[in-house]
Amino acid sequence: MWRRVNPLTQVVYLIIRLANRDIYVFPSSGTRLSRAVGCGSHRRIPTVSTLPPDVEPIPSRGRACSGSAEPGETPRRGIGRDSTTEVLSMRLLPCVAFLFTVGFVVAADDFKLEPGYKLIFNGKNLDGWQTKAAGKDGKPEALEGKAEAFAGRFKVADGELVIDAKVKGDKYIETTAPVSGDFTIRFDFKPAEGCNNDLLFLGTKFDIKAGGKENVKGVKVGEWNKLEIVVKGGSADFLVNGEKSATQKTKGDKGPFTLRAEGGAISYKNIRISDGK
């Protein structure tokens, strides 16, 4: 079976390959790219190339062999460098730095949406969500195009849906599109110490508690965890980091998927749902 290679590994490998390239000396003609290998009668001239049109050739000082030097200078070991080589090296450095940075960004979260799934949180704003109606006369507030709700109790930051513990209040937001039938919901969550927030749908309630005796089995405080909710045949299985944590009976045919901000901080990302097929 083929194993997927981490993008950061690929980037590091590329940088190592670039770092191990030989240092070339450009002759003043500007038409040949040569490298002196060995000294004396043992010399080999590799590939012939042409300088880029925007680089002006600068005469080499000709220190191709170990021990060669100008009169009065201390002999140097290895292959010499001229100004043209330094120009190309300076052009290469930003490219290497860019690749290295991209590698870290990709490696940080290389999430890829699975076939048959769709995001219900886009990581940019609260499109597809609304505040939960409060009381008999309360009306939900649409959150389309907004990045926060309830004065920042819920907010979008760095691709995550965050419940801010500094903003007080027992608040709810829910999906505008109902969930129904058989389906699977998956997402990543990172609870802070003392987190006590809930998930609600189809008559079920799952508490995400972190810290103390009430910690949900398998939850790692301050780290990213995975939660999978599998709804099938009138029951819902809750799996935390691949291990079943609870099973509940569902009620009703359809309804919203709700996040409750009750106590403590927590972050969610990559919230997606399948159609169960």
Query: Of 108, 131, 150, which residue sits at a domain end?
Result: 108
What pLDDT is attached to residue 138? 74
158 shares its domain with 270: yes
249 strand-pairing partners: 235
CB-CB contact of 244 with 209 (8 Å)? no
What pLDDT is attached to residue 139? 86
For residue 31, is it within any domain?
yes
For residue 227, is it within any domain?
yes
Query: Of 108, 126, 156, which residue sits at a domain end?
Result: 108
126 shares its domain with 226: yes
139 shares its domain with 249: yes
| pTM of structure | 0.63
Return the CATH number at 166: 2.60.120.560
103 shares its domain with 156: no
pLDDT, block means (10 residues), the chain with 277 residues: 52 54 45 44 47 55 49 51 49 50 50 96 98 75 97 98 97 97 98 95 93 69 96 96 95 96 98 85
For residue 1, is it within any domain?
no
* Whole-angstrom distance, CA of residue 173 vs CA of residue 151: 13
What pLDDT is attached to residue 213? 54
Residues 6+ apart with CB under 8 A from 110: 6, 7
Specify the number of domains making up the chain.
2
131 phi and psi angles, rounded to 5 deg: -75, 150
What pLDDT is attached to residue 133? 74
130 shares its domain with 102: no
87 shares its domain with 68: yes
135 shares its domain with 268: yes
238 shares its domain with 266: yes
219 shares its domain with 243: yes
For residue 2, is it within any domain?
no
179 strand-pairing partners: 255
The three-state (H, E, C) secondary structure of 8-41, written as one string: HHHHHHHHHHHHCCCCCECCCCCCCCECCCCCCC
Residues 6+ apart with CB under 8 A from 201: 179, 236, 250, 255, 256, 257, 258
172 shares its domain with 259: yes
30 shares its domain with 69: yes
Domain that holds residue 32: 7-108
What pLDDT is attached to residue 216? 72
Query: Of 108, 142, 175, which residue sits at a domain end?
Result: 108
175 shares its domain with 54: no
Residue 85 Rama label (left phi>0; alpha psi -120 to 50; beta) = alpha
Give the CA distances from residue 266 to residues 14, 166, 195, 212, 231, in Å, rounded to whole numbers and listed in that order: 37, 12, 7, 16, 24
Do you know the residue count of the chain? 277
What pLDDT is attached to residue 58? 53
